[in-house]
Amino acid sequence: MRRHLCAVVIALLVGSLFPPLGAEAAASAPYQLNVRAGATLYQFVGKTLTPKSTLRGAKTFQAITTSGSYYRVTDGKTTWYVRKQDGTLQASHLSRATFSSDAYARLTHEYMRTLTRWASPYTYDVLSPTNAVTRADAALRGNWYIPSPPYTLRVPNVDTYRFDTSIPKVDSNSFVFQIHYFTTLNQLTQAYTVNGRDEYLRYGKRIVQSWTKQYPVEDYKRHTWPYHDHGTAIRTFHLLNFWNVYRTSRVNDDPAFSQLFAKTLYEHATLLATPSFYKSKNNHGIFQDMALTAISETHRSFDRSAGWRTLATNRLTAQLNHSLSADGVHLEHSPFYQIYMYDTLSRFNDWAAANRFGLSSRMLDVKDMPNALTYMLKPNGTLPMFGDTPSLVHHPEAIQHVDRSPHLLYAMNGGTRGTAPTTRVGRLSDQYAFFRQHWGGRAGAFDDAVHVMMTAGYHSNVHKHADDLSIDVSGYGRDFIVESGRYGYTSRPERQAVLPAAAHNTVHVSGKSFNLTSSNLGRSRITSVGASSTQWTAAWTSQLIGSGMAHTRRLAYDRDGTMLVYDRVTSPVTASFVQRFHLGVGLNRTESGSRYAYFKDAAGRSLHVLQLEVDATPKLAIGSSYVSYRDYDWQRRNQVATTKRGKGVTYLTLLHLGERPTKIRSYTLETTARHYIVRYTLSDGTTRTLSMLR
């Protein structure tokens, strides 16, 4: 009985999304023909089509179907035939019933063939002409290229290929995701624009026919990857772009396929608009809003397009209010998504402008995203690996309108183009803070500058690692303290290893990670950044460390390679806490003791970590961990882990980076009512002072 009741509820839900065809069929006629004045109206006399009347003025008829080079129309009483060149087909209130009825197939074919709203397409994943043709040619031979491991999919016969059981079992979620969002159709479409080979379009048609037959939208809840929220949005872009070239091609001669295609787009829009399918407070939802906008703007004659358009705009505004700060920072915890979402949103702005319609007012703030990106970039052109960020070198040609951002152009070209920024210390919303020793020129080689970046902020679980209050430190052409990377979207154990607090350069309760629950949203942030003539400072705080616990971290930097890190954890209970610094690959331990560790690489660059004596006695240990600079890369490296136990603990850690082998030779620590004052001398004779608010 209970199972029967569930089945009834599901049937009602599906019925509300996709009403019975008979209910929609009762609506007014979907196609009309506006016939010009002076046109001849024809009727059959026997088997001969004969002129019967001439229109004195323009008139609109109900279109019934097409017949060769004629439209068959009616004025409500009489049926007429009109030459196609004498009339303009108009559509309104096109519904799912329209596209499900064979009676309208020929008219739908004409409507889809003559559609011009998508004059300037939005392309997800732009390919070079060579790559597009190479991959499309391979697809015709049954060898599909998929951008994620294992990269290849053998499809011997796309007409009979099973997109569920035939896809090999792999541990890369992205592989299956990309197959179902039609990355191959995108390759075929772009290849056709290069050389116009009809074979690409014929094969693309077969992909659409095979896939849609296997995955009727009524069953979307049963199919995780075919109807993935993000994948459905991307597939929508690829479908629209395919039709944009297919509609005027020699291949477009099948009314049944035009019906299927229009029905598929309508059903995709219906699903994208469904509240339970929508991904709020998530970049996936942004793509859903963009795709729904694209369908409703391209097909304004769909009966629900006006409502879809309003819905998409309102939802996109809410998404950007949540995930895009006023100063242009994308708030999904991962610098990589600053680039990814800027590229996505900037090109969508261009698409809307080219097609002459407006978007959410918040889309105006997208123009500020390159400024934030300027200061996230490390001197080697990579991004700090906070959250789901790989260590890839980013090039200016991949950035939309980079010439409009001269500071970013300078940062991405190693100081050879653009304008040198003057800012060297700053805060990016409440999520990041940065120190940049210099921007090249007389101050030193561009690539050798010390770069320090700090992260905090908990806005959602999207791309979120337990890395609050972590730091990334590079300089002199190498990473000194670096995050663990994202590894890849996979079920492999390495993916799970990069997520918890123990994989990051922060402090956590021994054996535990952070409490990333909805009740803790907003309880982590950068609180201040400051600059003086002798040091730069940053402070950030988090309450994610444990129930009733709070972690405050402050960092003071002498602007020349030495940092003082203050960690204070308050706790209602006694616990063991671990402070971790994960090092760059190739930094090898040469000396260590109970409170210090000294590392060097093959080029003589050095890192000295020294725990100062405050609060409980520290227990410093050297261990190993792993870093994934690129997806599926897994390299062993050293880490420094310092344990303290208490009902709240304090760490005061002195870090020195050396371009040449340099140590902290001595130090003194003075404690005042408000500050720690550390005076230190390096092995090269340099003496400096750093102060830290207690």
**Where would I find the H helices in 456-527?**
493-497
657 torsion bin: left (phi>0), alpha (psi -120 to 50), beta (else): beta
Question: pLDDT above 70 covers what percent of the chain?
Answer: 96
Question: Residue 652: how many CB atoms within 10 A of its CB?
Answer: 23
Rounded Cα distance, 598 and 595, in Å: 11
Angle at 174 between CA 169 and CA 175, to 5 degrees: 45
Q: What is the pLDDT of residues 418-462, one digit of tens each?
A: 999 999 999 999 999 999 999 999 999 999 999 999 999 999 999
Helix (H) or strand (E) segment spanning residue 530? strand 524-531
pTM (2 d.p.): 0.92
In this predicted structure, which of 121-125, 256-260, 274-278, 501-505 has the lowest mean pLDDT? 121-125
**How much is the pLDDT for 29?**
87
Residue 150 preceded by cis peptide, ω within 30: yes
Cβ burial 659-672 (10 Å sphere, 16+ → b, else e): beebbbeeeeeeee
Judged against a pLDDT cut of 70, whether residue 24 lies above it is answered with no
Extract the tokens encoding 595: 């409170």
For 36-87, the pLDDT digits (tens) are: 999 999 999 999 999 999 999 999 999 999 999 999 999 999 999 999 999 9
> What tokens were used for 626?
């792993």
Residue 185 has a pLDDT of 98
pLDDT (average), residues 352-377:
94
Residue 604 has pLDDT above 60, yes or no: yes
Cα gap 14→563, rounded to integer Å: 60
pLDDT for the residue 560: 93
User: How far apart are the C-alpha atoms of 184 and 180, rounded to whole Å?
Assistant: 9
pLDDT value for 25: 36
Mean pLDDT of all residues in the chain?
Answer: 94
Confidence of residue 486 (pLDDT cuts 50, 70, 90): very high
List Cβ neighbours of 502 (8 Å cut-off, separation of 6 or more).
Answer: 508, 513, 578, 580
- Looking at residue 524, what is its pLDDT? 97
Flag whether pLDDT at 593 surpasses 60: yes
Element of type H or E holding 245: helix 229-246
616 band by pLDDT with thresholds 50, 70 and 90: confident
197 by DSSP, 3-state: which?
coil
Position 244 scores a pLDDT of 94
Question: What does the pLDDT read at residue 17?
Answer: 53
Q: How confident is the model at residue 356 (pLDDT cuts 50, 70, 90)?
A: confident
Q: Order of strands, edge to edge, in the sheet holding 562-570?
A: 524-531, 536-542, 550-557, 562-570, 649-658, 606-611, 596-600, 588-592
Residue closest to 501 by CA, chosen among 630, 639, 599: 639
Inform me whether the pLDDT recorded for 18 exceeds 60.
no
Indicate if the pLDDT at residue 26 is higher than 70: no
More confident residue, 471 or 29: 471
- For helices 283-298 and 255-273, the axis angle rounded to 10 degrees is 140
Q: Which residue has the tokens 């300027």?
A: 374
Q: What is the pLDDT of residue 120?
A: 76
Is the pLDDT reported for residue 119 higher than 70?
A: no
- How crowded is the C-beta side of 257, counted as CA atoms within 13 Å? 19
